[in-house]
Amino acid sequence: MKTNASQNAQLYTEFNEMNKLRQQAKDKDPAALQAVAEQFEQLFMNMMMKSMRQANDAFGSDNPLNSSKVKFYQGMADTQLTKDLSESGGIGLADIIVKQLSAGYGIELDAEADKAEEKHNLSESEQLLSRAFDSTASAAASAILGQAQQQAAPEKAQPVPPVSEAEKVTAVKEKLPGRFETPEAFVESLMPIAEKVAGELGVDPKVLLAQAALETGWGKHVIQQGADSSYNLFNIKADSRWQGEQVQVSTLEYRDGVAQREQAAFRSYGSYEDSFNDYVSFLKGSPRYQNALQQAANPFAYVDALQQAGYATDPEYSNKISRIYSGELISQASNAGSLSANSGINSKES
Please report the pLDDT score of residue 41 as a whole number.
75
Separation of alpha carbons 104 and 6, rounded Å: 22
Residues 279 and 239 in one domain: yes
Task: State phi, psi for 264 to the nearest 5 degrees.
Answer: -150, 155
> Is residue 75 in some structural domain?
yes
Separation of alpha carbons 128 and 334, rounded Å: 54
Look at residues 152, 173, 188 and tell me which one is the last residue of a structural domain. 152
Look at residues 152, 175, 206 and tell me which one is the last residue of a structural domain. 152
Residues 135 and 170 in one domain: no
Task: State phi, psi for 55 to the nearest 5 degrees.
Answer: -65, -35
- Given 95, 215, 278, 314, the catalytic residue: 278
- With cut-offs at 50, 70 and 90, classify the pLDDT of residue 168: low
Residues 116 and 262 in one domain: no
Residues 253 and 315 in one domain: yes
278 belongs to the catalytic site: yes
Residues facing 254 on adjacent strands: 259
Residues 184 and 321 in one domain: yes
Q: Which letter, b or e, does each residue of 81-120 get, where b requires 16 or more Cβ atoms within 10 Å of its Cβ?
A: ebbeebbeebbbbbbbbbbbbbeebebebeeebeeeeeee
Domain that holds residue 313: 165-332
108 belongs to the catalytic site: no
| pLDDT at 13 exceeding the cut of 50 | no
Residues 182 and 283 in one domain: yes
> Is residue 341 in some structural domain?
no
* Number of residues that make up the chain: 350
Please report the pLDDT score of residue 287 as a whole number.
93
| pLDDT at 292 exceeding the cut of 70 | yes
> Is residue 339 in some structural domain?
no
> Is residue 348 in some structural domain?
no
- Given 38, 95, 204, 253, the catalytic residue: 253
Residues 175 and 80 in one domain: no
Please report the pLDDT score of residue 23 as a whole number.
63
What is the count of structural domains for the chain? 2
> Is residue 101 in some structural domain?
yes
Name the pTM for this structure: 0.48
Over residues 314-338, mean pLDDT: 79
Please report the pLDDT score of residue 82 as a whole number.
73
> Is residue 184 in some structural domain?
yes
Burial of 224 (0-12, 13-18, 19+ CB in 10 A): middle
Over residues 145-173, mean pLDDT: 53
